[in-house]
A and B are shown apart, each in its own frame.
Chain A
């Protein structure tokens, strides 16, 4: 039964993938054939063939490695910064959510700044953070490049986690709270045995948003800090040579997307393992 479900899901995945490929190539074929220029001209430069992007992965780059190997190394570099940033941001976000949920006065005082922190464009903030941390000395030297990038990723990660943790903790059933009160439960006990479990579905929703945001944050962090080992560097590099070889950039985008999906899937699996709730019903 489980096997058949997996099989049918795999089939749906393949069919949707094939459909997207057909739309891509169909669009390219039609626009090229008719010469339409709305909304933009279609040729091998603006919209290369899917198979040329995939074939490009096997070709060597200026570093000597094949493109796929080069992108794999870049993706792993970015993944490390994004993962550390995600974990750090989620931890800070959770802790802040717990504190703000418990202290009404603090919530009213601090929340505007938490919101404000997200309205500052990350492009403006990232260079300051990365340079600032470059001048800090930890263990006899500045933190490594990836650690500085991780801070940017964490910055994008903590916000949804804070907001949803707060909302989730406050969503605990009032009767369940009375029940804990009747057991003479301490604040900590109520937090761990009732409020946090009640908040888990909210927190995981935030973690899914944060997972993909952390990858974007890491890429932008790399670019503003001029760190060239990750996907951010690869995107800047291939962007310069786009006119010569557009498929390099498309292939890089493919890797960035796969990294984001990978992060998302890890959170999804963790949710399945940790959260036990009534199966959701969609009317």
Chain B
């Protein structure tokens, strides 16, 4: 409880090797995440940022090192249902209505019917989908489905929200709107977020800190503190400080020697 006082996530000396003496995906990662932070992880494809997220969520086991969530080992935190997870795809259950999809983790947590219904109503309001509770997932647009997925992840008020490129499959307009919505939800719920993304501007716009990772084996190359004022609005994207920070993150990425950056970020591509 000494080093991780106030930390929601504490990662120390984390290394992940896939297979027997095979590919080293992550090497010697150290990272502390405070309560209420919004931390983005950015890096070229294959730098292990998704793997890092999965290790924090105890979906993948680390080879070496420790991960503590809320002062507990990651496994204990998972068993205590300390985090909600949002994937790149909405991963909704086709056979359940929107309301029942959001209620899924509540059923697991043994909430009674009345409490579940009340909570689902609140969540629908939070993601602005009131009126769609009886719809099935396939009747919604991609953006709406991802909002249901976020509502499901937040429904049981987990201390930590893990998001793995949640808006990667959406068009730019929807993505920017959901960025704003996510920031509003983050402010309202006061949760801590770890957010994996490919997009530099998305990372800067959303985060309080951006963790830049190097290509394989993944390491923390640099951490950029984002000092943009809260709450952020559409106008934030036009502030000079926003562009400065985007440039700073981009240069950090190039400094890692990530040749794949141009490939994966064509819109932001700039030869170093």
A104 within 8 A of B: no
CA gap between A38 and B176 in the complex, in Å: 73
* B17 CB, nearest partner CB in chain A, Å: 21
B29 within 8 A of A: no
User: B57–A182 contact, CB under 8 A?
Assistant: yes
- Considering only residues 251-283 of chain A, those with a C-beta below 8 Å from chain B are 275-279
* A197 CB, nearest partner CB in chain B, Å: 5
Known: A183-B81, A276-B136. A197 touches B57 (CB 8 A): no
User: A278–B138 contact, CB under 8 A?
Assistant: yes
* A35 CB, nearest partner CB in chain B, Å: 59
* A2 CB, nearest partner CB in chain B, Å: 19
User: B95–A277 contact, CB under 8 A?
Assistant: yes
User: A277–B94 contact, CB under 8 A?
Assistant: yes
A65 within 8 A of B: no
Q: Which residues of B contact A200 (CB under 8 A)?
A: 95
Known: A189-B108, A276-B94. A184 touches B136 (CB 8 A): no
B104 within 8 A of A: yes
Question: At the interface with chain B, which of A109-117, A171-179, A209-217, A225-233?
Answer: A171-179
> What number of B residues sit within 8 Å (CB to CB) of A?
24
> What number of A residues sit within 8 Å (CB to CB) of B?
20
Known: A276-B136, A278-B138. A182 touches B91 (CB 8 A): no
Q: Which residues of B contact A279 (CB under 8 A)?
A: 138
CA gap between A200 and B94 in the complex, in Å: 12
User: B95–A197 contact, CB under 8 A?
Assistant: yes
* B61 CB, nearest partner CB in chain A, Å: 12
User: A182–B83 contact, CB under 8 A?
Assistant: yes
- Considering only residues 169-218 of chain A, those with a C-beta below 8 Å from chain B are 173, 175-176, 178-179, 181-185, 189, 193-194, 197, 200
* A279 CB, nearest partner CB in chain B, Å: 8
- Considering only residues 142-184 of chain A, those with a C-beta below 8 Å from chain B are 173, 175-176, 178-179, 181-184
B229 within 8 A of A: no
Known: A181-B59, A182-B78, A278-B138. A175 touches B91 (CB 8 A): yes
User: A275–B95 contact, CB under 8 A?
Assistant: yes
Contact with A along B100-144 (1 / 0, CB 8 A): 000011011100000000000000000000000000111000000
The residues of B with any CB-CB pair to A shorter than 8 Å are 54, 57, 59, 78-81, 83-85, 87, 89, 91, 93-95, 104-105, 107-109, 136-138
The residues of A with any CB-CB pair to B shorter than 8 Å are 173, 175-176, 178-179, 181-185, 189, 193-194, 197, 200, 275-279
